[in-house]
Amino acid sequence: MMSSPSICVVVPTYNEAESIARLINGINEALGGHPHRIIVVDDGSVDGTREAIRTIDGNNVEVINRGRKTGLGSALACGLRTAIGYHPSLVVTLDGDLSHDPHEIPRLLDAFSPGVLVVGSRYVEEGRWEGLEPTRILVSVMANRLSGRLLGTGVKDLTSGFRCYPSEMVEAILPKLRSVGYDFQVEALYESARMGYPAREVPISFHKRRTGRSKLGPMEAVRLIRLLCRLKFYQDRFTTA
């Protein structure tokens, strides 16, 4: 068992049996030159996701079975807490459905510098969408513009889950995070900026999921609006105090 990888990769999953092996193999190919550990946080999949992971050769994959679906943000928080327990230099997060290409991880690593959060972005030059419906793109654009306008982080893609965190940043922001859904991404970025950690965006290609169904729904939009109201309220109160 690897005790001190230089990189931990956190992958939240829920019913990703058809994509998870390909994703893990892709991560291993992308990070072949770096000691790394992959932490899969499974939210109670019922399609054989965990069984599919057992077919993969290697001993650098850890699976956390949470038994029931509790939300993306909750799963990410669990994975991040587990990751920093290994004391890596960096923690990478990405989706489990191959919407993020694991072979683009080196692009995030190349942009890394100490104390900086690197965000894989669809909204910077050369960032791309691949195969998604216009309505899905429109929803994302609107969510990011609203989040950016209200919170003023200077980041264009606040909802991207393809990130590279310095380990010390994870330790600093985790106690502050309360979100359990997709809004976790926005809150994590906001808290890192509030604590003085800068962010750098690099272009990525965001792909339509190859298999299975999207987990996004109306409740995620409600959660995001609630989060923005809460963060904006505290931001304004702090500014005027």
Within-domain flag for 167:
yes
**CATH code at position 173:** 3.90.550.10
Number of domains in the chain: 1
Cα–Cα distances in Å, from 220 out to 88, 95, 182?
Answer: 31, 16, 6
Question: What's the pLDDT score for residue 146?
Answer: 79
Within-domain flag for 34:
yes
Residue 77 has pLDDT above 80, yes or no: yes
Within-domain flag for 2:
no
Within-domain flag for 124:
yes
pLDDT in tens, 102-126: 999 999 999 999 999 999 999 999 9
pLDDT in tens, 209-227: 665 555 555 666 767 777 6
Within-domain flag for 232:
yes
What is the C-alpha to C-alpha distance for residues 158 and 194, in angstroms, rounded to an integer? 14
Nearest to 35 by CA among 55, 10, 5, 64: 5
SS3 87: coil
Query: Looking at per-residue confidence, does 67 or 208 come out higher?
Result: 67
Question: What's the pLDDT score for residue 132?
Answer: 75
Within-domain flag for 1:
no
pTM of the model: 0.87
Question: What's the pLDDT score for residue 68?
Answer: 87
Residue 144 has pLDDT above 90, yes or no: no
Given its phi and psi angles, is residue 8 left (phi above 0), alpha (psi -120 to 50 degrees) or beta? Answer: beta
Find the domain containing 173 and state its range: 7-240
Backbone angles phi, psi at 119, to 5 degrees: -115, 125
